Amino acid sequence: MAEDLHLLDATAQAALVASGEASPAELVEVALDRIDRLNPQLNAVIHERADAARAEAAGVLPDGPFRGVPMVVKDLDGWLAGEPYHAGNRGLRDRGFRPAVDSELFARFRRAGFVIVGKTNTPELGLMPSTEPLAYGPTRNPWDVSRSTGGSSGGSGAAVAACLVPVGHAGDGGGSIRIPASECGLVGLLPTRGRITLGPEAGESWGGLVRRLVVSRSVRDTAGVLDAVAGPMPGDPYVAPAPSGPYRDELRDAADPLARGQLRIGVTTSVPDPNVVCDPQVVAAVDAAAQACASLGHAVERSAPAAWDDAEASAAFAGHFVNTFTVWAAADLDRYGALTGAPLTADEVEPGTWAIAEMGRHVTALQYHAAVEATHAYTRDLARWWSDGFDVLMTPTIPELPPTLGQFTGTVDEPLVGLARAAGIVPFTAPFNATGQPAISLPLGWSAEGLPIGVQLVAAAGREDVLLRLAAQLELACPWSDRRPPVV
């Protein structure tokens, strides 16, 4: 059994602990051994917690649904008291910054029974959709080590895809859960805005765009973790509507797709940005997923929000996104400087990040306000489609195969190369950070080279139940659990 423990999802590992067939210490030791052996090829885990994890596993763990299961957390989007927090930044690394409090989400992971075995790599400040920080070097994709794992949760994506752990914490401000899920062959759910607290260190992040959860290898793990960690803290600025019941319950009828009713699914592979071309293999993967939904009995048609196909509106949204994004980058640098006692300098920050933040410092308060208002108007137009009788929108997660490493790093001479390249990765994901809707990426396609291709499903705000129900049906119809990357 021990040699196969790493192949089990978190739900199966927890069941072994509950039955006494495996111990938390045994599961943690398997994870730490795999990190030691495989991480040099991947550079996914940048801070190991070997001693602390062993001590926690040997002690009294909370009797939660994932008792004794090892996981990793990203070195961004959450704090562990007394542990390094560097956000991919050399300045925070060299200053040795360690927060004094736990994020509530991490406390909830622990109350669920998880044992955190390490922290994972992330691009600086989470700005790029590829994990290649100068502070720690690139994370490599276990499906092809010359390729990106996505960002900003790319370290967690690599760790879960290579079966170092079954679950990895992730956060998403423009695609950073779904893009690593797509590029690493995983399940990645962006929850509804306000579903999971960002406290106590933040009420909102990036104007409400950032949301947090995990990447996993199974729909049931994602649903189970969401059940375990969802809910607000007092004073949160956004609170999602309460679900009608446990999310795990949505998976029970997966073998009978119409047991809870037929879904109306719109499908598009149209790219909102006319400068981006969708790879034919990505289009084929979405078409195959749409055919699978039709075969399950759902009503499938070519349709998308009118605002989606309005090139002028989409271009305007992209411009407003850049204006606000640059301001948030500048604010993050200022916040980290304040936390460490002195402003971060250009020598402590990557050229691309510094240039993006400098752009933000030239956006006036009125320009920022106008960009926020215009974004809200666009997203109202976009979200209205779900009120017209549709349950789910199906799109590619990203319009291309996992890109090769080295395309997203700005230089002193050309600092904004990464920002320009990133625009071609996020057109399907970023709009739904702005609308606040839930979206999930599923590994439903595979390229001729054997690379994973993610398909995105988007539901109305508050309807993670619909996404998880359909995801479980597709997991049965188009199983992916037996696929293993070369580095595993």
The catalytic position among 152, 205, 216, 218 is 152
The catalytic position among 103, 148, 176, 441 is 176
Q: Which residues of 166-179 are buried (b: 16+ CB within 10 A; e: fewer)?
A: bbbbbbbbbbbbbb
Would you say 356 and 329 are in contact if contact means Cβ atoms under 8 Å apart? yes
Would you say 410 and 351 are in contact if contact means Cβ atoms under 8 Å apart? yes
Q: How far apart are CA 66 and CA 3, in angstroms?
A: 20
Q: How far apart are CA 459 and CA 439, in angstroms?
A: 6
Would you say 66 and 224 are in contact if contact means Cβ atoms under 8 Å apart? yes
The catalytic position among 74, 148, 153, 216 is 74
Cα 316 to Cα 125, 273, 428, distances in angstroms: 25, 10, 15
Could you confirm whether 176 is annotated as catalytic? yes
Could you confirm whether 74 is annotated as catalytic? yes
**What's the token pair of residue 475?**
């997991």
Q: How far apart are CA 69 and CA 67, in angstroms?
A: 6
Whether the upstream peptide bond of residue 200 has omega within 30° of 0, thus cis, is yes
Closest CA to 86 of 77, 78, 76: 76
**What's the token pair of residue 249?**
């319950």
Closest CA to 110 of 159, 62, 48: 62
Residues pairing with 189 in the sheet: 440
Closest CA to 99 of 114, 87, 111: 87
Paired sense of beta strands 264-267 and 299-302, if any: parallel
For the purposes of burial, counting CB atoms within 10 Å of the CB of 146, is it exposed (0-12), middle (13-18) or buried (19 or more)? exposed
Q: How far apart are CA 204 and CA 210, in angstroms?
A: 7
Q: How far apart are CA 222 and CA 229, in angstroms?
A: 11
Closest CA to 22 of 64, 62, 55, 70: 70
Q: Annotated catalytic sites, by residue?
A: 74, 152, 176
